[in-house]
Amino acid sequence: MQPIERKSVGQAVYEQMREALVSGEWPKGSKIPSENELTKSLGVSRLSVREAIQRLSSIGLLESRRGEGTFVCEYPTSNFINTMLPMLDFDTENSVFMSEFRQIIEVGCVKLAVDRATEEDLALLETNNEKLLAMMEDYQDDDAYITRISEIDVEFHFLIAKATHNPIIVQVYEAMQPVWQREMKEIIAELKSYGARYYHVEILKALKARNKDKAVSIIDAHITNNINSMVNKRKAQEG
């Protein structure tokens, strides 16, 4: 940490503290210097330091514990996403963009899950798949039914994320679940049915066979199909 010179003092304090986090000078889980210590080392007011801590806390990089001090968050990803999500406007176009983002995440998850999924992971996916297929036997054009189907569908993909055994991926996926569930609900309601009956079965087969190319191909086609459905819906609405 160095004394602050020119530029906006508040912004400069924030940037130096953020750099201390990114560089590992303040390791995850560690307690950062007190406000008094930071005020002296940076040569700024206590207010500037406090504002920087509040900004870093608001995006999930720091957390304050009453009577203990301020600590670096272990895995700040989900807190950051939860802060960002309310600012997004989830119209049809952004739903497509979000699905493209999801496609990148899902393909990466499947690649790792093929190598890392345990027998327990595969058993959970099997149970989820059986539950989904049973519910799909008799499609119902009912909001409660569609909501439940979308929950089970997104849970299948979350189980794949968990099978990567990567805590950052799991936290990102967990934070994004409400968004992707809403997206899936809209797709199911629009099409009155959907492709999970085929895709989920084939993805699970590929995972069990440890066939990475097949698993990637299926998950990519699955989400591409969803994206195309949303694009066609928008075109139809626009006439």
Range(s) for CATH 1.10.10.10 in the chain?
9-74
Residue 208 has pLDDT above 70, yes or no: yes
Q: Retrieve residue 95's tokens.
A: 């739903």
Q: How confident is the model at residue 123, as a pLDDT?
A: 97
- How many Å apart are CA 190 and CA 30, to the nearest integer? 49
| 9-74 classified as CATH 3.90.1640.10 | no
Average pLDDT value over all residues in the chain: 84
pTM for the full predicted model: 0.69
Q: How far is CA 81 from CA 11, 52, 77, in A?
A: 22, 19, 6
Q: How confident is the model at residue 231, as a pLDDT?
A: 78
Count of C-beta atoms within a 10 Å radius of residue 231: 15
**Which of 209, 227, 215 shows the shortest CA–CA distance to 160?**
215
Q: How confident is the model at residue 141, as a pLDDT?
A: 80
Residues 6+ apart with CB under 8 A from 189: 146
**Which of 142, 113, 128, 73 shows the shortest CA–CA distance to 208?**
113
Range(s) for CATH 1.20.120.530 in the chain?
80-238
Q: Are 20 and 26 in contact (CB under 8 A)?
A: yes
Tens digits of residue pLDDT in 98-119: 888 889 999 999 999 999 999 9
Q: How confident is the model at residue 183, as a pLDDT?
A: 79
- How many Å apart are CA 8 and CA 117, to the nearest integer? 49
CATH number of the domain located at residue range(s) 80-238 in this protein: 1.20.120.530
